[in-house]
Structure 1
């Protein structure tokens, strides 16, 4: 069965309480549950991981090679700073979709730059938690089109 890693970066463990006017009221557990339910509908297995530590996220991406056929990544603020995460995604050659709850292009200028986008199939931002489900659908379409699913 096709397996996807849903990987969340720094501060996403605070979803539901951190700036709900920007990030919504859903908790990370609710996001993960929605991803699991949607993945089951489209025939995917998923693993979920959140870390506030860049190295742990890099390790998870490395560990995904040979285990997962896709990655959904919300790298949080590391999106705008981490060449290391970009390099990890490029190195493992696993299709990835970048997700953000808010529209990063409508926010502060520093958020407009994404190193993750350079290593991803695409970027979904501004649709709240629905973005994760859209990312799973995008991966499903890509994997089917390439024969990897």
Structure 2
């Protein structure tokens, strides 16, 4: 089973401000945690990050069953694009498998504009506020959804 895990703009900056919203672990640490979790779950994880909305849309489309990189499910932290990108929403809605939205911070405790996301409209469920643990839980949940 292959899972696609997408991260949007600025996710690569996680951990650079240890007192900040996203904690102390840097993006490479989180990437390593996710690959270790996927290994324990017995799945292949394609973990990617992009600053570009168009590249994220392209990767989602490529994950379709007829695409060059089919995936059983998509986990996405579209970051700031979660609140603005109808293009990402449309691509996720066109994906036939399950989608899980994940956020490092609790978006409900942040600024009001972060309380609603476009990406959640395509998601089976959302995980937020648990930091890197939420990323691992999203992988575990996706394996359960695909195997159900």
TM-score after normalising by structure 2: 0.93
Matched residue, 2:57: 58
Structure 2 Cα separation of the partners of residues 142 and 118 of structure 1? 17
Note the aligned Cα RMSD (angstroms): 1.1
Matched residue, 2:119: 116
Secondary structure class of the residue paired with 2:126: strand
Matched, 1:92 2:95: yes
Matched residue, 1:79: 82
Q: CA 1:18 to 1:11, structure 2 compared with 1: closer, same or farther past 3 Å?
A: farther
Unaligned runs of 5+ in 1: none
Structure 1 Cα separation of the partners of residues 62 and 19 of structure 2? 32
Instruction: List, as ranges, runs of 4+ consecutive aligned residues in structure 1 with deviation greater than 6 Å.
Output: none
Q: What's the offset of the Cα at 1:18?
A: 4.4
Bigger fraction of residues in helix: 1
The number of aligned residues is 144
Unaligned runs of 5+ in 2: none
Matched, 1:70 2:69: no
Matched residue, 2:40: 41
Structure 2 Cα separation of the partners of residues 56 and 94 of structure 1? 20
TM-score after normalising by structure 1: 0.93
Matched, 1:127 2:130: yes
